[in-house]
Amino acid sequence: MSVPEKAIRLNKYISETGVCSRREADKWIEAGRVTLNGAPATLGHKVARGDEVRVDGNLVGAKQKAIYIALNKPVGITCTTEAHVQDNIVRFVGHSERIFPVGRLDKDSEGLILLTNDGDIVNEILRSENEHEKEYVVSVNRPITDLSLKMLASGVKIMGMTTKPCKVERVDAETFRLVLTQGLNRQIRRMCSALGYRVRRLQRVRIINIHVGALRAGEWRYLSDAEVAGLLAG
């Protein structure tokens, strides 16, 4: 990868080569896995033209072509890059290039998740203050009342905090659509549980401008140029 005349932060340099996100690069640096010109790197180091960066002894070099994938994740697949985890998402997709998931979708949930080798877009989508929309279709174990739907929309207290207001729309007696702009751990399941419901099926159908569409469970496709532009603009 060609380093610009002006030095850039080490984590940005590593992420731009496509090996991981900036956040992951920081973890690698802290763990002592990264060297800069043969010496252990530290957080905040900058990379200038002619510098040599290695991760686990392997030279980090030419920037790869950006890859953006939409996967309809089936239930049972874990959103991790850790090779020792059975049924991890990277092995499931089986792409020839090194990619990683953008955020996560619980093992017992299904639907749309994005994978990429572009660390910058990962940071952009996951940054909570950007409040990007994610849409879900949720089925619960018994008919859900109009009052419960209103409570979900206005905010539910979970984990010592009240969730942000969100859009909720009934689909049928036991199913509703919900659009979140935050991503707390197992948020939807916790919200439903707080109101006395158990989630039977949880499917993500949209992330910002990307829809799961006709993708069947387990299928994936590359994003179009227009879809990538929409993500970057979002």
Whether the domain at 68-128+210-233 and the domain at 133-207 fall into the same CATH topology: yes
The answer to whether residues 68 and 74 touch, using CB atoms and an 8 Å cutoff, is: no
Pick the range with the lowest mean pLDDT from 1-5, 13-17, 54-58, 102-106: 1-5
Q: Is 162 helix (H, G, I), strand (E, B) or coil?
A: strand
**Cα 42–Cα 43–Cα 49 angle in degrees, nearest 5:** 75
Cβ-Cβ contacts under 8 Å for 165 (sequence gap 6 or more): 153, 154, 155
State yes or no: pLDDT of 211 exceeds 60.
Answer: yes
User: Which pLDDT belongs to residue 52?
Assistant: 86
- Please give the backbone phi and psi of residue 136, each rounded to the nearest 5 degrees, phi first: -130, 150
Model confidence band, residue 89 (pLDDT cutoffs 50, 70, 90): very high
User: Which pLDDT belongs to residue 1?
Assistant: 47
State yes or no: pLDDT of 91 exceeds 90.
Answer: yes
- Convert the pLDDT of each residue in 145-198 to its tens digit: 999 999 999 999 999 999 999 999 999 999 999 999 988 899 999 999 999 999
State yes or no: pLDDT of 49 exceeds 60.
Answer: yes
Pick the range with the lowest mean pLDDT from 17-31, 115-129, 154-168, 211-225: 115-129
Q: Does residue 106 carry a catalytic annotation?
A: yes
The answer to whether residues 140 and 198 touch, using CB atoms and an 8 Å cutoff, is: yes
What are the C-alpha distances in Å from 94 to residues 43, 115, 197, 215, 228? 32, 12, 36, 17, 21
CATH number for the region 8-59 comes to 3.10.290.10
Q: Which two tokens stand for residue 73?
A: 């994740």
Whole-angstrom distance, CA of residue 57 vs CA of residue 76: 34
The answer to whether residues 47 and 8 touch, using CB atoms and an 8 Å cutoff, is: yes
Domain positions in the chain: 8-59, 68-128+210-233, 133-207
* Residue with the larger pLDDT of the pair 122 and 203: 203
Report which DSSP code applies to 101. E
CATH number for the region 68-128+210-233 comes to 3.30.70.580
What is the CATH T-level fold of the domain 133-207, as seen in this structure? Alpha-Beta Plaits (3.30.70)
State yes or no: pLDDT of 3 exceeds 50.
Answer: no
The closest alpha carbon to 137, from 109, 107, 165, 158, belongs to: 109
- Which position among 106, 108, 120, 225 bears the catalytic label? 106
Give the mean pLDDT of 61-66: 68
